[in-house]
Structure formats: structure tokens, C-alpha cells
Amino acid sequence: MSGRPWFYEPVVSDHDTADEALHQLTLCSISLGEALALLTADIPSVVDGWEGMARLAFDEQMPGILVAGYQLAGALLAAGVAVSAAYESSVLEGDLRARLRADHQAELAAAAR
Amino acid sequence: MTLNASARPERLRHLAETTTAVAEALTRRAGHLEDAYDAYMLANGPDWRIDVSALDEALLAWAETLTGIGAFVGQVGTAFESAGGSGGDGVVTVAEYRMLALLPCDARIVAEAAWGAAEVDWGDPEEPPEWIEELGTTSMVVGHLSEGVDAVEVAFVVGSGADARRSLATPAVLGRFASAEAMARFGNALGWGAAGLAGVAAGLEQWVGDGGTVNFTDHELAARAATRGVGTGAASLAGGAAGTIAATYLCGPGWPACAGVVIVGAGAAATFGGDRVLDRVLDRPGPAQHDPDLVADHVTGYEPGDRPGDVADSTWDLIEDTETQGVAAGERNFERRNAALFDDDIAPETVDALDLPAPWVEREARFPPGWSRVRDLDGEVVAL
């Protein structure tokens, strides 16, 4: 096999930026949740006494918008989990490669003796 | 036949303002996410990062959609106002065609396209929690009890202080009290208790009622609750004292019915008057009405540069929970990906394919460092 083995390839990851991305994704999800809670609480008062075609148009569209909002809030949290998972995986991979490198160098040293 | 349409235009406009504020906040939030994501992409290698670039765009798109429906609702509100119409309790009723004619073209097309769609049951507007109502009822009962004792005192006790004594008409039930003085003290304590309870109940109701409206800062919430509580308590005390004085002069001993009517009447008048004054001082926003700036701040939440101490505990809890789930998922991913490397007996194909060093293959990896069993390449344990 030519060249250095694969475990000499560095694992490029950064805790601070991964952590900040996780924070921002979670905070976005919280913001969206707050917005949805506010709208959900307001809508019954807003539609109270509202009748006619404009109301029907509102009723036709708003539930879908709210559902999409809840799904997006869930997706943002899931993305936060994924960012954290990718970082954790990178840390473990970095440790693994370091151990493999150490063993490889021990093997080379033994062969040289 | 002319079809009518109705609405509370003010509430429709409130929703439009709220959606605008919410969209503004989410746009700000999406900007922070984009900045963080850009830095994340630069600092993490392609194999060790997740592409979530679509999410800030999705958030912006959702905010834009919300702005769109908010604008539509606002336009409908304006059309109802412009169409005039009549109705009580803020509800405006007009001929449907008149309202539609006043809508901008694109909004009218949207409304007309909904013909035949089903109306959604959005539920009832939120009411204050039941326990607050129960507290209010309790304070009212104690208040009436206090008024009753005051009335009995006026009717059956003559004199005051150390000279107080029961009148000839004193009923036997008052024998429970060791003296007329004791009864007066009991009446006073009950009066203060009723006033305190009424104040606490009113203050709490104000606090809870204001809290969900997103119209007041924390300081304003506290100030309004304190004003309502102290004001209501003071009105209760003043009503009780005024009623007792009035009944003493107007009725005197031996006229329990008169004393009761005067004292209860004075209490009710003081409570009613106090409430009206406090309602004027503490004007309450209408249903679905919010301060747009506070809505924007509330929805935006914690921003870069804010003190970490300002972050709510519930926010930290969610961040930690997300991180914990991520760590567990990352560990599972790592173990699954590298399972072949940690087998007790690593397959020769794996050794070749991954170019594994001999010391790694010889060591049974699942044992912690220092406790490794060493195997030869045939898989036999040769040392402990």
C-alpha cells in the first residue's frame, strides 16, 4: 500500500462552532415555538364573530401554516441533535485514529529493530 | 338574497400586527443561525459536519408566509372598517360583496377562491385559570363574612373600646365571644383578612391576565399587579370602615337588617368604585392585542451579546437535552461505523482493507487500557 494509511488523515472539527450552531438551531426552534404558542392563543379571539369568505380563506390556509411551523420547529431541534452527533462522532473518530497511528508507529519501530 | 359577512376588525388588525412582529423576530433569528452555520461550515471538515443550510431558508420562508396571511387578515379588517356596517360588542356586519369590493385585488381573489371551504373550530379564547376564580370567590365570601360581623357588631354592641358592651337585643350566638371587645377584634381581623385576600386575588388575576398578553415588561407586570392588589385591598378596607361608620349613625343598636344592608351596600359600592378606578389606571389591552416590540423581543429570545444569565432555565434545559441526544447518536454512529475494528477476532479482510497495524489487531480492543489480552494473529491468547 502506497502513502500513509487512512488514519493519518486528520479529523477536522471544531467544538466552538459546532456548539454555537447547536445553540442557534435550538434557539430558533424555541423562537418558533413561542411564535406558534402566541398565534395559537390569539386565533380563537381573532376569529370570534368572524364569518364570510375571508374567514374561510383564513381557515383554509392557517392550519397548514401552523402545522408547517410545528414541523419546522421539530426539524430545527433534530438538526441540532445531528450537529451535536456529527461533532461527537468526529471526536471519537479522532481518538480512534490517534490510537491507530500510535499502534502503527509501534509496529514500524518493532520492524526496524 | 344578500349574504352578510362579519368580523371584529380591530382583532383582525391586531393579528396582522402580531404576525409582522413575529416574522421580524424570526428573520432576526434566522440571521443569527446563518452566521453560526457559516462559521460551522468553515471550521468543520466535510465528513464531520451536517448540511442544515436549508433550515434558515425554511425559517425565512415560513416567516414570509406568516407575513402574507397576516397582511391578508389586516386587509380584511380594514375592508370591514371601510365598509361601515353595524353590530354590537365590536362585531361589524356588512354585505359580503361590499367587504370583498374593498379588498385589494389579490386578497379578493384569495377570499373568493375559498368559497365552499370548511370553517375550522379554533376553540374558545383562553380564560384565566380556574384557581384564580376560586381565590376570588373565597375572598368575596370572607369579605361578606366580615361585613356580616360588622353588621352584627353595629346592631348588637353599644359603646366602643373598653366601654363596649352588648345591647339588650344581643342574640345568644354572640355568647361565643368572651366580650364585645373580643368580637370587635375578631371583626377587625376578619376585615383585614378579607381585604388582604381580595388584594392578593386581584393582584394575581392582574398578573396572570397581563402575563400572557405580551404587552408589559417584567417590571410593568409587577407594578400593575401590585397596584391592583393594593388598590383592591384598600377599597375593601375603606368600604368596610365606611359601612360600619354609616351603619352606626344610620341604624344603631337593635337594627340588624338596616346595619346589614348599609354595610354590605357600602362594601359593594367601594369594591365597584375601586374596580372602576383601577380599570382606568390599569387599562387592559384587548383580546389578541400585543405590543409589537415586545412580541418581537419575546419571540427572538436570547441573542448573541446578551448575558448568559438572561437565558431562561427552560432554554438551557432544551439545549442540554439536544446536546445529550446528539452525543448519544454520535456514539452510536461511531460504534456502528467502526464495529469491525473492535471485534474480538478481527477478520483478515478487515485487516487488509483498513491497513490495520499489527498491535491493534493483537489487542482485544474491548478491554480497557492496561487490561488487554494479547492474541497472536491466529487468535490465540498468548499473554495476560
Shortest Cα–Cα distance, B11 to chain A (Å): 5
Nearest CA in chain B to A90: B48
Domain count, chain B: 3
pLDDT score for B168: 57
Judgement on whether residues B40 and B186 belong to the same structural domain of the protein? no
Domain count, chain A: 1
Judgement on whether residues B168 and B237 belong to the same structural domain of the protein? yes
> Per the domain annotation, does A105 fall within a domain?
yes
pLDDT tens-digit readout, B29-54: 999 999 999 999 999 999 999 999 89
> Per the domain annotation, does A10 fall within a domain?
no
Q: Among A35, A52, A92, select the one facing B299 at the smallest CB separation.
A: A35
Query: Per-residue pLDDT for B154 more than 70?
Result: no
Residue B8 touches chain A, beta carbons under 8 Å: yes
pLDDT score for B172: 55
pLDDT score for A106: 92
Q: What is the mean pLDDT of chain B?
A: 83
pLDDT score for B365: 45
Judgement on whether residues B145 and B42 belong to the same structural domain of the protein? no
B315/A96 touch (CB, cutoff 8 Å), yes or no: no
> Per the domain annotation, does A26 fall within a domain?
yes
Q: What is the ipTM of this complex?
A: 0.93
A58/B59 touch (CB, cutoff 8 Å), yes or no: no
Give me the mean pLDDT over the B351-368 stretch.
Answer: 75
Provide the residue range defining the domain that includes A64.
16-39+51-112
pLDDT score for B265: 85
Judgement on whether residues B141 and B176 belong to the same structural domain of the protein? yes
Q: Among B119, B214, B301, select the one facing A59 at the smallest CB separation.
A: B119
> Per the domain annotation, does B125 fall within a domain?
no
Q: How confident is the model at residue B165 (pLDDT cuts 50, 70, 90)?
A: low
> Per the domain annotation, does B302 fall within a domain?
no
pLDDT score for B379: 53
Q: Among B7, B79, B301, select the one facing A49 at the smallest CB separation.
A: B7
A43/B5 touch (CB, cutoff 8 Å), yes or no: no
Shortest Cα–Cα distance, B198 to chain A (Å): 28
Give the integer Cα–Cα distance in Å for B204 and B210. 10
B44/A12 touch (CB, cutoff 8 Å), yes or no: yes
Q: Which of residues 209-238 of B touch A (CB under 8 A)?
A: 212, 214
| Chain A residues within 8 A of B26 when measuring between CB atoms | 28, 31-32, 35
Least confident of A54-68, B279-293, B358-372: B358-372
Residue that terminates a domain, selected from B297, B321, B352:
B297
pLDDT tens-digit readout, B297-348: 989 988 888 887 778 888 899 999 999 999 999 999 999 999 888 877 788 8
- pLDDT lower than 50: segments of chain A: 1
Q: Which of B10, B332, B360 to mutate to test the interface with A (most CBs of A within 10 A)?
A: B360
A38/B334 touch (CB, cutoff 8 Å), yes or no: no
pLDDT tens-digit readout, B57-92: 999 999 999 999 999 999 999 999 998 876 777 899
Judgement on whether residues B57 and B106 belong to the same structural domain of the protein? yes
Judgement on whether residues B138 and B48 belong to the same structural domain of the protein? no
Q: Which of residues 360-379 of B touch A (CB under 8 A)?
A: 360, 363
Q: Which of B20, B41, B59, B112 to mutate to test the interface with A (most CBs of A within 10 A)?
A: B59
Least confident of B6-20, B120-134, B290-304, B355-369: B355-369
pLDDT tens-digit readout, B174-233: 555 556 666 677 777 877 888 888 899 889 888 888 877 788 888 888 999 999 999 999
Judgement on whether residues B84 and B196 belong to the same structural domain of the protein? no
> Per the domain annotation, does B305 fall within a domain?
no
> Per the domain annotation, does A32 fall within a domain?
yes
Contact B141, A82 (CB under 8 A): no
| Chain B residues within 8 A of A84 when measuring between CB atoms | 322-323, 325-327, 329-330
Q: Among A43, A53, A77, select the one facing B114 at the smallest CB separation.
A: A53
Provide the residue range defining the domain that includes B366.
311-383
| Chain A residues within 8 A of B50 when measuring between CB atoms | 79, 82-83, 85-86
Judgement on whether residues B276 and B206 belong to the same structural domain of the protein? yes
Judgement on whether residues B329 and B378 belong to the same structural domain of the protein? yes
Q: How confident is the model at residue B364 (pLDDT cuts 50, 70, 90)?
A: very low
| Chain A residues within 8 A of B115 when measuring between CB atoms | 53, 56
Query: Per-residue pLDDT for B384 more than 50?
Result: no
Residue B33 touches chain A, beta carbons under 8 Å: yes
pLDDT score for B239: 85
> Per the domain annotation, does B124 fall within a domain?
no
Q: Which of residues 3-22 of A touch B (CB under 8 A)?
A: 5-6, 10-14, 16-18, 20-22
Q: Among B32, B287, B358, select the one facing A24 at the smallest CB separation.
A: B32
